[in-house]
Structure 1
Amino acid sequence: MITRAGWGLAAASVLVYAVGAPLGYAQAAVLALTGVAAVGAGALWTLRGVRLEVRREVTPVKVARGEPAVAILHVRNTGRWRHAGLLARDVCRGTTVTVEVPALARHTARTVSYRLPTRRRGETPVGPLLLDRVDPFGLARRSVAYGRPDMLLVRPRTVVLAPLRSGRQRHLDGLTSRSAPSGASSFKGLREYVIGDDLRHVHWRSTARTGTLMVKELTDVNLPDTVTILDTRPSSYEGDDEFELAVDVAASAACAVTRDRFPVRVLTGMGELVHAKGGPGEDEEVLDRLALVEREAAAEPPLHALRRAGSGGALVLVSGTFAALPDAAAVRRRFDQVLFVRVGDPTDGGPPRAAGVNVIEVADLEELAAAWPG
C-alpha cells in the first residue's frame, strides 16, 4: 500500500506537471515522471514476497501496574534473499509500539525486545503483530499479520502491610503460624472422621452414640478474619487515578491477610469478588480478580455490601469520598476493628472522626504503609 509520503509525492508530481507543462518547462515533465516512477518502484519493492518465521513472547504475563513488561520478538529469514526495511508493530490497548527489525541475510535470525505499556490495569491484549516491509524511501508499505494476540494481565500495585488483628478472645502467644488452620486449638464443632485426621481429636462419646467415627474440629480463636470492601461507584472518585489507587489499597489490605494464609473476603458494589479461605497462593487469585474491577454505574453503596459481610473480624472500607464513612460507622459494633481508607488529596482540616472507626487518608501507597494501624 502507498504511504502518506508516497501519495504526497505522487500528488506533487502531478501538480508540477500540470503547472509546468503548459508553460513549456520540459523539466516539469521530467520531475513529474521521476516522482511517479519512485512511487511505483516503492510499490514493486514491497510486493516482493517475504519468507519469515516470526514468534513473539510476552514476559511476564502478569505484572503489577507500572512495572515493566517486555515483548521478545524472534524473526528468522527462511527465504533466498536478504531483507531490510522491516518494522514490527504491536497494538497494546490502543497504544501502537513500533520497533525496527535489523536487516536479515538469508537463513539468519534476529531477536529484538520492546517495552509494553502497563500504566492501565486489566486484561491487555498484545497484538496482532504486524510486520511491515517498507521501501528505502518510505513511499510504500506492505503489512503482514503474524500469530495470535497474547494476553498481558496488569494487576494492582501493592505494598507490604501487617494483617489487622481481630478476634475477641486472645491467645497469650498472639497469632499462630502461617498454617494457622491446621494448628488451631479452640473447639469449633464435630464432624465425621477423614483419613489423615489426628486420632487424638476423636470424640469417643459422639462416636459411640452415632456409630460413626467423629472428630473435634478446632480453630484458632485469634485467627484474623478480614472483610475488604471497595467502593466502585463512579460518583465516589474524581478521576481514574483515584480509583486506581483505591484498587491498589484494597489489594494491599487483602494480600496482607492472604500472604499469611488467613481468610479474607473482598466485596465491591457489585457483590462478592473473591473469598479466600487461607490456602496457599490465594493472594494471586485476589490480585487476578482485582485486576478486572471497574467502576460500575449500577454499583450499590457500601452499606449494602456491609449487610452481606457477616460479622466479626476486621473490616476495611476503601472509598474516594467521606460520604461512605457513615456506612462503616453504622456497622462498627459487628466487627472487632473497623478501618476506613479515603484515597485522594488530603482534605482541609484533616479527616472527619467517627466513633469506633479508624479513619485515614492516603494519596499514595507509601502513605498507606505509614498510616496502616496493623
Structure 2
Amino acid sequence: MITRSGWGLAVASVLVYAAGAPFGYTQSAVLAAAGLAAVGAGALWTLRGARLEVRREVTPMKVTRGEPAVAILHVRNTGRWRHSGLVARDTCRDTTVTVDVPALARHTARTVSYRLPTRRRGPTPVGPLLLDRADPFGLARRSLAYGRTDLLLVRPRTVPLTPLHSGRRRHLDGLASRSAPAGASSFNGLREYVIGDELRHVHWRSTARTGVLMVKELTDVNLPDTVTVLDTRPSSYEGDDEFELAVDVVASAACAVTRDRFPVRVLTGEGEIAHATGGPGEDEDVLDRLATVNRSATAEPPLHALRRVRGGGALVLVSGSFTALADAAAVRRRFDQVVFVRVGDAGEGPVPRAAGVTVVEVGDLADLAASWPH
C-alpha cells in the first residue's frame, strides 16, 4: 500500500513533469522519473515476502480496572534477509497501540512489550495484531495479520469491607460455613470420606451398604447471607463514571461476604447474575460476572427484583439516585439489616433518610471504606 508520503511524491513528480515538459526542460522529466521510480521501488520492497514467526501473550488475562495489563510480543525472523522498519499495531477495543519492533537479522528474535488500556470495565478483545512493514523511505507499507484475538477481562475495583451483621445466631462450636463438614449441626447429605474427616461423622449404614466409607456432610442453617442489588436503570445515573462506581461498590460488598465463605446473591434490574453459596474461590466468579454488567433501558426498578427473593439476612442496594431509597425502605422489615448506597457527587441539602435503612453516600471507593457500617 502506498503511504501518504508515497502518494505525495508521485503527485509532485507528475506536476514537475507537467510544468517543465512544455518548455523543453529535460531535468523535469528526469526528476519525475526518479520520483515515480522511488515510489515503485518502495512498493516492490514491501511486496517481498517476510518470513516471520509472531506470537503475542497477554498477561494477566483478568485484571482490575485501572491496573496494568501487558502484551508481550515475540517476533522471530526465519528468513534469509534482514528486516527493519517493522511496526506492530494492536487493537484493544477502540484503542490502537503502536510499538516499533527492532531490526531483525536473519535467524534472530526480538521481544517487545507494551501496556494495554484497562480504564474501561468489561470483556476487552485484544487484536488482531497487525505487523506493518515499510520501505526505508516510508513511501509504501504492507500490513499482515498474525495470531488470534485474545480476550482480556477487566473487572471492577474493590476495597476491603466487613460483612454486614444479619442478626442471626452463629454456632460457637465450629466454622459457620457450608464448606466446613464439622462446622454445624444440620444434615445436608452424604459424600465419600477424605483424609482429615472426623470419624464421628461416618455414616456406618451407608458405608456397609456401598462398601465405601461415607461421611455425613453438615451445614450451618444459620449462615448469615446477603443480597446485593445493583440499580441498572440508565435514568439513575448521570454518566459512566457514576455507574462504574456503583459496580465497584456492589463488587466490594459482595466480595466482603464471599471471602468470608458466606452466601451472597447479586441482583440487577434484569435478574440474578451471581449466587455464591459459601464455597472457596467464589469471589472470583462474582467479579467475573460483574465485569459484564451494563445499564439497560429494559431494567426493572430494584423493588421488583427484591419481591422475588427470600427475606432474611442483610440487604445492600446501590443506585445513583435517591429515588431508589424508597425501594429499600419498602422491604426493610424482610431483612435483618438494610444498607442503601447512593453513588455520585454529594448534592445540596440534607441526605434523605428512611426508618430502618442505613444510608451511605459515596463519591469514590475511599468514601465507601470510611463510611461502611461495622
1:369 equivalent in structure 2: 369
In structure 1, give the amino acid aligned to 2:293: V
2:147 equivalent in structure 1: 147
Cα 1:218–1:6 change in 2 (3 A) is closer
Partners of 2:22 and 2:43 lie apart in 1 by 30
1:262 equivalent in structure 2: 262
What is the 5 A alignment of 1:216-365? 217-219=218-220, 221=222, 223-365=223-365
**Aligned with 2:303: secondary structure?**
helix
Cα 1:316–1:175 change in 2 (3 A) is farther
1:137 equivalent in structure 2: 137
**Aligned with 1:57: secondary structure?**
strand
Partners of 1:214 and 1:85 lie apart in 2 by 68
Given that 2:46 and 2:135 are in contact with CA atoms closer than 8 Å, whether structure 1 keeps it comes out as yes
Given that 2:227 and 2:264 are in contact with CA atoms closer than 8 Å, whether structure 1 keeps it comes out as yes
What is the 5 A alignment of 1:134-213? 134-169=134-169, 176=175, 181-185=180-184, 187-188=185-186, 193-196=190-193, 200=200
Given that 2:16 and 2:28 are in contact with CA atoms closer than 8 Å, whether structure 1 keeps it comes out as yes
Cα 1:168–1:178 change in 2 (3 A) is closer
Given that 2:181 and 2:218 are in contact with CA atoms closer than 8 Å, whether structure 1 keeps it comes out as no
**Aligned with 1:11: secondary structure?**
helix
Given that 1:180 and 1:220 are in contact with CA atoms closer than 8 Å, whether structure 2 keeps it comes out as no
Cα 1:176–1:193 change in 2 (3 A) is closer
| Structure 1 residue 132, shift from structure 2 partner | 1.0
Q: What is the TM-score normalised by the length of structure 2?
A: 0.90
Cα 1:217–1:86 change in 2 (3 A) is closer
| Structure 1 residue 92, shift from structure 2 partner | 0.9
In structure 2, give the amino acid aligned to 1:133: R
What is the 5 A alignment of 1:36-115? 36-115=36-115
Given that 1:202 and 1:216 are in contact with CA atoms closer than 8 Å, whether structure 2 keeps it comes out as no
> Could you tell me the percent identity over the aligned residues?
76
Partners of 2:93 and 2:314 lie apart in 1 by 37
1:210 equivalent in structure 2: none
Cα 1:4–1:178 change in 2 (3 A) is farther
Cα 1:216–1:144 change in 2 (3 A) is closer
In structure 2, give the amino acid aligned to 1:282: E
Given that 1:134 and 1:141 are in contact with CA atoms closer than 8 Å, whether structure 2 keeps it comes out as yes
Indicate the larger mover: 5-14 or 315-324. 5-14
Q: How many residues align?
A: 362
**Aligned with 1:128: secondary structure?**
strand
Q: What is the TM-score normalised by the length of structure 1?
A: 0.90
Partners of 1:115 and 1:256 lie apart in 2 by 30
**Aligned with 2:351: secondary structure?**
coil
Any idea what the Cα deviations from partners look like across 1:275-325, whole Å, max 9, x if unmatched? 000000000000000111111111111011111221011101111111111
In structure 1, give the amino acid aligned to 2:39: V
Given that 2:3 and 2:141 are in contact with CA atoms closer than 8 Å, whether structure 1 keeps it comes out as yes
**Aligned with 1:127: secondary structure?**
strand
Q: List gaps (5 residues or longer) in structure 1.
A: 205-212
Partners of 1:215 and 1:126 lie apart in 2 by 48
Given that 1:316 and 1:338 are in contact with CA atoms closer than 8 Å, whether structure 2 keeps it comes out as yes
Q: List gaps (5 residues or longer) in structure 2.
A: 205-213
Cα 1:164–1:174 change in 2 (3 A) is farther
Cα 1:214–1:157 change in 2 (3 A) is closer
Query: What RMSD, in angstroms, separates the aligned Cα atoms of the two structures?
Result: 2.5
Given that 1:163 and 1:224 are in contact with CA atoms closer than 8 Å, whether structure 2 keeps it comes out as no
